[in-house]
Copies of this chain bind each other. A is one copy, B any other.
């Protein structure tokens, strides 16, 4: 049973040592400004990107040139989606194509991803421009062409599918590029496989806050109730839901 990572281990020991060092019975409030200054350790310096471009410490999962970071989930074979000349990729329809997932496993992340519904409108409700950003292959932020297209609100664009209605519908017109900026924390499991801390998700859709530190009930579930099962780090999956949705500019920062 995995309890904690090495970094948490180091943190705990450091904290314990530091706390011990500073342990005395003095509860006097400091009276000088210097007493509440902390000088170390220094946070890392990161060079930011512009307009959604990856910052210097990001892992770039898709920059438009190749599928090197991705595989087919079923058999770990090569990705069968379409690589477009404009630096994007598109879900390919047809038998045996399926979803794609990252080769790497992730825990807590800041994730940036851009997606576009097909310009040619096909179907309605959940059958129009449907895909999904499925973090750790379990926790889905819905991708859907919801423009002039009604569906259940806990399954609409930007929902945590069947768990959390988005605060707003903030899509751009069909055929234009949307952004999702996601702050995700993985669930923490205890020694009994129990949930010590639920997963949380904050989502900005085109810069508009639509999920506000939502505590997930469990994994995405189409029928019935979401129920957590203990797991470790896991891939990011993009869903093939029989709609030619496109993606581009995908990067994560490990938190």
Q: Which of A167-214 contact B (CB under 8 A)?
A: 167-172, 181, 183, 189-194, 200, 202, 204-210, 212-213
Which residues of B are found within 8 Å of A222, using beta-carbon distances? Answer: 33
> Does the CB pair A40–B153 fall under 8 Å?
yes
Stretch at the interface among A6-14, A93-101, A114-122: A6-14
Partner of A170, one of B12, B55, B167: B55
> Does the CB pair A226–B48 fall under 8 Å?
no
Which residues of B are found within 8 Å of A192, using beta-carbon distances? Answer: 163, 217-218, 225-226
In the assembled complex, the CB of A42 is this many whole angstroms from the nearest CB of chain B, namely 6
Tell me the nearest residue of chain B to A51, going by C-beta: B51
> Does the CB pair A22–B3 fall under 8 Å?
yes
Partner of A213, one of B44, B156, B200: B200
> Does the CB pair B223–A30 fall under 8 Å?
yes
Partner of A225, one of B172, B194, B205: B194
Provide the bound-state CA to CA distance between A154 and B41, in Å.
10
Range for the number of chain A residues in contact with chain B:
35 or more
Partner of A169, one of B43, B112, B204, B212: B43
Which residues of B are found within 8 Å of A57, using beta-carbon distances? Answer: 168
Provide the bound-state CA to CA distance between A161 and B28, in Å.
21
Which residues of B are found within 8 Å of A167, using beta-carbon distances? Answer: 43, 255
> Residue A85 at the B interface, CB < 8 A?
no
Partner of A183, one of B44, B209, B227: B209
Q: Which of A207-255 contact B (CB under 8 A)?
A: 207-210, 212-213, 217-218, 221-227, 229-232, 253, 255
Apart from the given pairs A29-B224, A192-B226, A202-B202, 9 other A-B contacts in the complex at a CB distance below 8 Å: A3-B22, A12-B12, A36-B162, A37-B152, A55-B170, A110-B208, A183-B212, A183-B213, A192-B217
Q: In the A-B complex, list the 9 residue pairs whose CB atoms are closest, starting with the nearest.
A: A48-B206, A37-B152, A3-B19, A12-B16, A27-B230, A46-B168, A4-B19, A193-B225, A38-B154
Which residues does A use to contact B, with CB under 8 Å? 1-6, 8-9, 12-13, 15-16, 18-20, 22-27, 29-33, 36-49, 51-52, 55, 57, 110, 112, 152-156, 162-163, 165-172, 181, 183, 189-194, 200, 202, 204-210, 212-213, 217-218, 221-227, 229-232, 253, 255
